[in-house]
């Protein structure tokens, strides 16, 4: 690697470390003020508080990395223009593409690293953080401050019952789109599908609405079928407490775990649309660092009179736009309007297109 590459990477990493530290501290301060009342109301000890923020730190770092990458790339190449270094590089025959290569390569490493970091360290610490919230920060909670809606819940109980739930509301113990499978020695014995189910505390049973029950023989052939639009109290081997204990959001499930869940559900004929969207989302989001750098470099040199302050503001606006389109595409995929792949990758497709346009039209 030439000296120029070391110089560019040094300038980029210097900015990146300072900006990352700044945004991480901002995230930490915002979280402290946001949860200050909960800490006081629940008399959270300093030791628990320390554990909570140790577990929160990885997710904060994960969120700040893409922002830091974009702002750092804009500042690094913007400063080259401000200090007239860009003219020197151009006079030496170096193009925008050549000068972009070291930072783009670093962005690729950031994206790969972010994927593994998010699916190992962040996932593990998110579980610890959420456990602390439930155990130490929810004693005096009310329904408005607690998490009441659980989506895309999947778990296995007693090694034989597979439960998949699209949505569960802990306030009224109502779940939507239940798939309940009883498996014995790898064979499906019974399958229950219900559009809606409500927990009956008195009988300790689920009140199913618009449901079907299928029984299968040892060869996997359906030998009994029941369909009903009437309400029926049926015992199922799980309770709302099981959902609260085991039900995990996508931020608590790694890519590998989610992929295994999808395979298991598909093998039993369950619609896995929402899980597939989340699976593709994990890959798409991990590439954000590379994509924002790809957009940020030509953005900083597109016009010679662009100030660093304007570039910094534009960087923040770019990140917000990316996240908005990312969530919009995810929502469309959840609704079935886009495929899981396209929905999760919509924001990447848009910003890669913008990056290509800027690269082709920026001052070389």
pLDDT tens-digit series, residues 190-222: 999 999 999 999 999 999 999 999 999 877 788
Q: What pLDDT shows up at residue 144?
A: 40
pLDDT, tens digit, 9 for 90 and up, residues 154-163: 877 777 888 8
The CB density around residue 224, as the number of other CB atoms within 10 Å, is: 10
Q: What pLDDT shows up at residue 311?
A: 61
Mean pLDDT score, 127-136? 84
DSSP letter assigned to residue 250: G
251 vs 264, more confident = 264
Q: Is the pLDDT of residue 140 over 50?
A: no
Q: Name the band, by pLDDT with cuts 50, 70 and 90, for residue 307.
A: low
Mean per-residue pLDDT of the chain: 85
Q: Is the pLDDT of residue 147 over 70?
A: no
Q: What pLDDT shows up at residue 306?
A: 54
Q: What pLDDT shows up at residue 310?
A: 64
Q: What are the residue ranges spanned by the domains of the chain?
A: 3-138+280-361, 159-236
Q: What is the Cα–Cα distance from 40 to 43, expressed in whole angstroms?
A: 5
Mean pLDDT score, 240-263? 77
Q: What pLDDT shows up at residue 293?
A: 92
Q: What is the Cα–Cα distance from 190 to 203, expressed in whole angstroms?
A: 22
Burial class of residue 172, CB neighbours in 10 A (0-12, 13-18, 19+): exposed
57 vs 97, more confident = 57
Q: What pLDDT shows up at residue 1?
A: 55
Q: What is the Cα–Cα distance from 11 to 14, expressed in whole angstroms?
A: 5
Mean pLDDT score, 328-355? 92
Percent of the chain residues past pLDDT 90, beyond the cut = 44
């Amino acid at each position: 690697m030439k000296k120029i590459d070391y110089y560019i990477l040094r300038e980029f990493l210097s900015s990146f470390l300072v900006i990352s530290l700044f945004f991480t501290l901002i995230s930490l301060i915002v979280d402290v003020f946001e949860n200050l009342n909960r800490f006081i109301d629940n008399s959270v000890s300093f030791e628990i508080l320390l554990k909570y923020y140790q577990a929160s730190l990885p997710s904060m770092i994960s969120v700040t990395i893409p922002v830091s990458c974009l702002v750092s790339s804009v500042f690094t190449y913007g400063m080259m223009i401000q200090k007239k270094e860009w003219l020197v590089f151009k006079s030496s025959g170096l193009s925008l593409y050549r000068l972009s290569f070291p930072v783009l390569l670093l962005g690729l490493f950031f994206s790969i690293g972010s994927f593994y970091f998010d699916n190992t360290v962040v996932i593990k610490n998110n579980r610890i953080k959420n456990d602390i919230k439930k155990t130490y920060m929810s004693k005096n909670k009310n329904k408005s401050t607690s998490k009441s809606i659980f989506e895309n819940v999947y778990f296995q109980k007693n090694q034989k019952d597979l439960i998949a739930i699209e949505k569960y509301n802990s306030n009224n113990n109502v779940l939507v789109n239940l798939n309940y499978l009883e498996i014995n020695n790898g064979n499906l014995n019974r399958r229950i599908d219900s559009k809606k189910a409500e927990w009956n505390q008195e009988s300790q049973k689920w009140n199913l609405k618009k449901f079907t029950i299928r029984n299968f023989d040892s060869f996997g052939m359906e030998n009994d079928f029941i369909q009903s639009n009437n309400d029926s109290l049926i015992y199922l081997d799980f309770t709302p407490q099981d959902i609260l204990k085991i039900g995990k959001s996508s931020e608590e499930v790694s890519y590998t775990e989610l992929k295994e869940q999808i395979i298991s559900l598909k093998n039993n004929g369950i619609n896995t649309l929402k899980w597939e969207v989340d699976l593709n989302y994990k890959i798409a989001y991990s590439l954000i660092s590379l994509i924002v750098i790809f957009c940020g470099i030509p953005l900083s040199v597109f016009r010679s009179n662009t100030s660093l302050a304007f570039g910094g503001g534009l960087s923040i606006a770019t990140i917000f736009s990316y996240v908005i389109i990312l969530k919009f595409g995810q929502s469309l995929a959840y609704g079935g309007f886009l495929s899981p792949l396209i929905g999760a990758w919509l924001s990447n497709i848009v910003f890669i297109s913008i990056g290509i346009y800027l690269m082709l039209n920026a001052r070389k």
